[in-house]
Every structure is written in C-alpha cells, then in structure tokens.
Structure 1
C-alpha cells in the first residue's frame, strides 16, 4: 500500500495566493521565465479532498490525495496542510504560514483512507504550469485553473470552476526555526510580480493591478528579453 520512498516533512509551508485574469497569463509566464531562467513545467493534477468523520477524533481533519497526470506513469502524493498561523507573529509577515506533512503513496491509497473512515468531500483538476526558483529558498510558483468533475474521477470531462480566472500560488517550505527568513525571501520575490499582480496580506486574494495591461503589453513586445 505504501511505497518504500521516504516521507517529506516540512514544519512550515509559506504561501502567497493571487487571483489573475486569463488575458495576462502569457505575460506573467514570460516574467517568471525571465526570473528563473528555465522553461516552465506543465501542471495537470487530479486532486481529491478527503475529510475525516467524527469517529476518527474530536476535530475533523482534511487530507488531499494528489495525482500527477503529467508523468508517463501517474504518481500519487498525500498531503495534509494545517490552518494558518495566528497571533502577533503572523500579523507582522506578509505570507501565510501553515504546517504541512507530505508523503508519496501508491495508486491504491484511496481505498485505504476510505477504510479508515475518510469521505470524499470534493474533487478537482488543476491545469497550468509551475516555475521553480532556488534563491535563498526553494520557491515554487504555480499558475493554474481550477476545474470541477461532472462525474466521479472523470478528469477528461472536467469543466472550469471559475472561467477566465487563474490562481497564482507562490509557496516555499521552511523549518520552524527560521520561517521568518524564508518569509522575507518569498515577500521579496513577490515584489517582482507587482507590475502584474496586487500584493495581498495573509488570507487576502486579489487580482490584477490597474496597470497590468500596460505591463503585459511591454513584456509581450519585448519578447521576455528584459533582464529582471
């Protein structure tokens, strides 16, 4: 049921989340490619959100089974992300800080969680691309659309949940002892996206800036050759 590969444990996951209109996605991709210097990776992930039932504990929990459909042999991952950190410390930084546990699992993990009492809450298909950066932190930027299933597990029949809207997620793992340092790196990186995106505080999701059209036109006409 479980593969022999080691589990991954990140005490913290730091994130900034934005909503972005589809018309400027190509310009955003050019900007991101200029920042990381490598081509994008295609993203196509089948995501099953499972919730526990009362007999599994006093507090309900949610886990996500993720299937990477871009690989020749689809691979599965189970991930649990805790709630956002709260308190004075959280208010002083501009990213969400959450506990995260992540592990590779075999393709028959879903029946296991069903037998443990978890129930399928929702099922999504994320389609888009990702960019990876290694400058002071392992930053991942995912630009994707969210699609819902018309039938159970029917990924080929998924339809857009929010047509014309993309979600931009900037995330980075961090150990608990220095998450503030990684938060600074993530915040600094997000400043590069300011020409196209609003920068929001934790918990807020905003969209394009008023000058996004002009910034996008500039990037497109330059062909992405501008040095960032």
Structure 2
C-alpha cells in the first residue's frame, strides 16, 4: 500500500520549494528524469482491464521499476483521511520487461517523461517528494523529442509506503509534513484539483531571500 497526495506549483516557484524541502528534510535533492510507460492488458487476459506502469530512471537506466496501482481504500474511515490510501505493488526488472509485457498481451497506452527532482527522507514515515514537469513524446519512445503537457506548471507528489496495519500513522505523518508546504502549494488526493496557492509568490520571495531557514 501507499499514501499519496498531489498538487501543482508554478515553475517560477520551484526553486523556492526545493530550498524549503532541503531545509525541512536535511537532504539534498536527487535529479529526476524518468521515462514512464503506461500499459493496458489485452482481451486475452480477461474482461477486467489491468494497468501497469513501467518506469525507467534515465539517470540510472537499470533496473526498471514495474508498478501496479490498485484500488483506493474506501469507506467512512477513508473519507476522513486527507491523503489517498491505495493498494500498490512495485518490483524491479531488467530492460527486457517491456518485451515481456508485450508478449503477455499488454499494449502501450501512452508514455511520458518526468523531469525534475526528488527528496527521500524519514519524518514519522519514509516519505518521497517529487517535483517534476510532465512531458509527452512526439514520437514513440522519443525521450529527446518531448513537449510539456502544461506550460509553466510542475506536479508535486508526496508518497509514503504503508501497510494495512500502519496506514493511519503513515497518513498522519504525510498530512503533518504537507502542512509545512501550505504557503507554496496545496496538496490533496489525486484527482482533486485545487489549483495554485495565492500566497505562493510572497512565500517564494521570502524563502529565496533567507535561503530556506532552519532544518526542522
């Protein structure tokens, strides 16, 4: 399982966000350049469509990551949690994994290139924050021939692995951490659009002037 929230930020404020994240987390950013392929199962694999994401980190091409995102936690308890809790299975594979899924009957639905930065740290739970621009490819697998999906906007995603026993604690840790980012962006469950934060420009200017403050 994993807990996840997402939000958007204007590209002009990304540097300020990275300064804030470094101050909060006490870790340096990692460069992010990931080729993502979204596959869907064919009719020979059953009536219910299965979706799989293959991720190739172009900074470290092998191994690839195979990620299957399942259904979200439902019920009254899930509605009261400010983060999305969903089933997720992740594993590593060689670069031949795409050929394997094609042989199994999967088809390429679409592919994207994410470019940005990532922060990995422990703060009540192991948390990963990614800040990236989403780019679509003009030709099949053409990672050097892309255009931004949304000009001037980057996607921020906060994720943390969880289990059926501890997801409440992990969700609370993610929610608590996200409060520190509130002046720059609003993070919510995926699919819930909240737009950019009106206070972002002033908060970014303050962060740029003082260099990010103190590690908390």
Aligned to 1:26: 15
Check whether the contact 2:135–2:148 (CA below 8 A) recurs between aligned residues.
yes
Give the counterpart of 2:182 among 194, 202, 224: 194
Shift of 1:204: 1.2
- TM alignment of 1:155-194, pairs within 5 A: 155-194=143-182
Check whether the contact 1:82–1:100 (CA below 8 A) recurs between aligned residues.
yes
Check whether the contact 1:21–1:207 (CA below 8 A) recurs between aligned residues.
no
Task: Quote the RMSD (CA, aligned, Å).
Answer: 1.3
Check whether the contact 1:69–1:75 (CA below 8 A) recurs between aligned residues.
no
- 3-state DSSP of counterpart to 1:176: coil
- 3-state DSSP of counterpart to 1:180: helix
Q: Does residue 85 in structure 1 map to residue 43 in structure 2?
A: no
TM-score (norm 1): 0.91
- TM alignment of 1:77-156, pairs within 5 A: 77-156=65-144
Check whether the contact 1:78–1:105 (CA below 8 A) recurs between aligned residues.
yes
- 3-state DSSP of counterpart to 1:207: coil
Q: Does residue 211 in structure 1 map to residue 199 in structure 2?
A: yes
Q: How far apart are the structure 2 equivalents of 1:79 and 1:147?
A: 20
Shift of 1:223: 1.5
- 3-state DSSP of counterpart to 2:144: helix
Query: Structure 2 unaligned runs (5+)?
Result: none
Shift of 1:39: 1.0
List structure 1 runs of 4+ shifted beyond 6 angstroms: none
How many pairs does the alignment contain? 216
Q: How far apart are the structure 2 equivalents of 1:173 and 1:66?
A: 17
Check whether the contact 1:42–1:130 (CA below 8 A) recurs between aligned residues.
yes
